[in-house]
Amino acid sequence: MNISTKIAGINFDSCIINASGPNNSTLEELELIGKSESSAIMMKSCTIEPREGNDKPRFARLPFGAIQCMGLPNLGYKKYIEFALKLKKYNKPIIASISGLCANDYVKMVGEFQDSEVDLIEVNLSCPNIYGKPLVGYDIEQTENVLVKISSLGKKPIGLKLPAYLDESLQKQIADLIIKNNISFISTINSIGNCLVIDSEKETPAIKPLRGFGGLCGEYLKPIALGNVRKFYELLDDKVFIFGVGGVKTGEDVFEFLLAGADAIQIATAFEKQGATCFEKIKNELIAIMQKKGYKSVREIKGNLKYL
């Protein structure tokens, strides 16, 4: 049974890793991921300067996921360059996640991570929680401007963390830009921004920042995430590697994302709720499904959705 995978020339012992978001901001948290069955260490989306993030409560668990408006609390990109060096001892791929507040931030951080110990650079075009900042991935002109500037800064593969697209024409335009600018992988989808959860007992929003608007996470997202994985799998013609993200909680979820066309999957909300043991549990569930169905590798499953 082979559940290993390859993303842009980098080997992963399994197709299950943590997503950027929960429990991956400090060195202690990243060490726990290093020791876990996550086959890579994905670091928190970073900015040029350290950020405290938004006022609390800024995260609320929900029956089928969570809503959050964290506001990019992170230690600043320089710390994550230092951490990458310290995390090398775990012998698994290290992935930087960067989130610019303007185009120049992306250029500066991608340039600096190109000279670091990370294996892959995930460029987050989809953080929904910064007040007054448009979501880059929903703006074709801004996306093109960033991609043109970051695509030739070094040899390490670059990927994009994409927002959920609910419109095919936008997906086609983004797919064209991805191919044109030699983007190696995508991670789809991020939490869905601008959502509102109301506590009817208290008659308030579930979280405080932005008058309660925040990014919806977890199981609520799975059909939207699967739709985005499948659509980009079709549009990118197997030329770009795909991380599926959004509501993965069981081995069966992983299997579905692989069928849709993912090469690997990332886990945020289940990791936040269950802790680092979730990776082993989900991995064992995936292996059991593959055994039952007679699949021997991830590559055999990838994209193998059968139509009715």
Rule CB under 6 A: is residue 190 a binding residue for ligand DHB?
yes
Which residues, 6+ apart, have CB-to-CB distance to 207 below 8 Å? 57, 58, 59, 60, 67, 68, 69, 197, 214
Secondary structure of residue 210 in the 3-state scheme = helix
Min separation Cβ 69 and ligand DHB, Å: 6
Options 5, 38, 47, 126; binder of ligand DHB; rule CB under 6 A: 126
How far is C-alpha 151 from the chain's CA centre? 19
Rule CB under 6 A: is residue 45 a binding residue for ligand DHB?
yes
- Whole-angstrom distance, CA of residue 98 vs CA of residue 134: 16
- Whole-angstrom distance, CA of residue 172 vs CA of residue 109: 27
Options 95, 127, 254, 286; binder of ligand DHB; rule CB under 6 A: 127
Rule CB under 6 A: is residue 143 a binding residue for ligand DHB?
no
Options 36, 39, 47, 124; binder of ligand DHB; rule CB under 6 A: 124
User: Does the annotation count 195 as an active-site position?
Assistant: no
Give the residue at shortest CB distance from ligand DHB: 70
Give backbone dihedrals phi and psi of 235, rounded to 5 degrees, phi first.
-70, -30
Tracing tokens 């109301």 back to the chain, one arrives at 198
Strands 94-98 and 158-162: unpaired
Taking CB under 6 A as the criterion, which residues in 196-255 touch ligand DHB? 215
Secondary structure of residue 241 in the 3-state scheme = strand
Only one of the segments 120-128, 173-181, 229-237, 251-259 lies at the binding site for ligand DHB (rule: CB under 6 A); that segment is 120-128
Name the catalytic one among 15, 69, 127, 217: 127
Bridge partners (DSSP) listed for residue 204: 199
Catalytic residues: 127
Judged by the rule CB under 6 A, the positions of this chain that interact with ligand DHB are: 45, 70-72, 99, 124, 126-129, 190-191, 215
